[in-house]
Amino acid sequence: MVIVEKSGALTTIQDMGRTGYERFGVSPAGPMDIRSFVLANLLVGNPKNTAAMEISIIGPTLRFTERGVIAITGCDIAPRRLGKPLEMYKTIVVEAGDVIQMGIAPSGCRAYLAIAGGFAVPKVMGSCATSVQNKIGGKDGRKLKNGDELQVGQPTVALSQLAGRALSKEKFGYDQPLTIRVIMGPQDNEFTAQGLDTFFNSIYTVSNDSNRMGYRLEGPVIEHKGDGNIISDGIVTGSVQVPTAGLPIIMLAERQTVGGYTKIATVISVDLPKIGQCRPGDTIRFQAISIDEAQKLYKNMQDDLKQKEITLSNGNCPKTYKIEVNGKQYLFTVTER
């Protein structure tokens, strides 16, 4: 069992999302940075869709009542045990009674904690993902709070085989402005030439009025041909809505499923994790690419994740060991070839 002693700013249980219910108005939810989410699960030997913890900016304090193996990925959330820093992107063996404290991320927005066996929360409509907007999934359809108790599932890999697994750390202090690639449409014809030029040649700032449902952007107004209203139609994760006021909104994990504002473009799947790691005050700009380019980038991302999964499963990943000699501690890394 894992006991939440302090919940952090916004900590939820997520899997890869809820599918098949959008026609009923139920958003998919799931992780804002699906790449970091998957990497955390792969490190601890879980299937990619296993329920894990999404942590936003300010991390929780967790107490473990039994032995287990965890991994933390995503932005640097400064995990510590007994005041000593813990490595991210590396498996961590926890013992009964251990307390893991997490701090404040200096950059980036979201970290992910996976535990071998996953968090055993009930599935709602086939998914464990927390949708705060719909109040379903995870822990009673809400963010975690102090005192919550989370059961842990049965690991699929022996804990002894997980020790020492590691992946290269990823950087989340992106250079500003961050370039976000999009596919045009479906209503890009509803904007003037000047409006399209503004969209692609302006820098936008993530506003404080942003959350898992969508990111509102501040910056130059995008000009419509009309008033920005359409007959409501479907919205996908990454849709860039531009309401009548002319400022874009990027629709994200807990988005509504239909909407009545023009959508100028759609963020490609590969760049959605980058958006998920943005925080208020970060700046972005948009770049159009073709569907073929977007598909190639997506395939490359999936191939990379598959290769990491194979490497971890074969035990060929770098393993880090700590030894003590004459009272001094040394860390060394071994890579099998």
pLDDT in tens, 192-222: 999 999 999 999 999 999 999 999 999 999 9
- Residue 27 near residue 127 (C-beta atoms within 8 A): no
Q: Where in 39-131 does DSSP place strands (E)?
A: 52-56, 61-64, 68-74, 80-81, 84-85, 92-94, 99-101, 110-115
* Closest of 68, 61, 31, 293 to residue 158, by C-alpha: 68
The pLDDT value recorded for residue 188 is 96
Does residue 330 carry a pLDDT above 80?
no
Does residue 325 carry a pLDDT above 80?
no
pLDDT tier at 162, thresholds 50, 70, 90:
very high
Does residue 334 carry a pLDDT above 90?
no
Mean pLDDT of 326-332: 61
Interatomic CA distance for residues 55 and 43, integer angstroms? 17
The pLDDT value recorded for residue 337 is 44
- Residue 157 has a CB neighbour count (10 Å cut-off) of 16
- Residue 88 near residue 73 (C-beta atoms within 8 A): yes
pLDDT tier at 316, thresholds 50, 70, 90:
low
The pLDDT value recorded for residue 215 is 98
Interatomic CA distance for residues 132 and 145, integer angstroms? 13
Interatomic CA distance for residues 62 and 81, integer angstroms? 10
Angle at 20 between CA 15 and CA 26, to 5 degrees: 75
Mean pLDDT of 293-304: 97
pTM of the model: 0.91
- Residue 31 has a CB neighbour count (10 Å cut-off) of 26
Does residue 5 carry a pLDDT above 60?
yes
Structure-block tokens of residue 119: 């968090």
pLDDT tier at 171, thresholds 50, 70, 90:
confident
What integer best gives the mean pLDDT of the chain?
A: 93
Residue 205 C-beta-side C-alpha neighbours within 13 Å: 8
pLDDT in tens, 17-29: 999 999 999 999 9
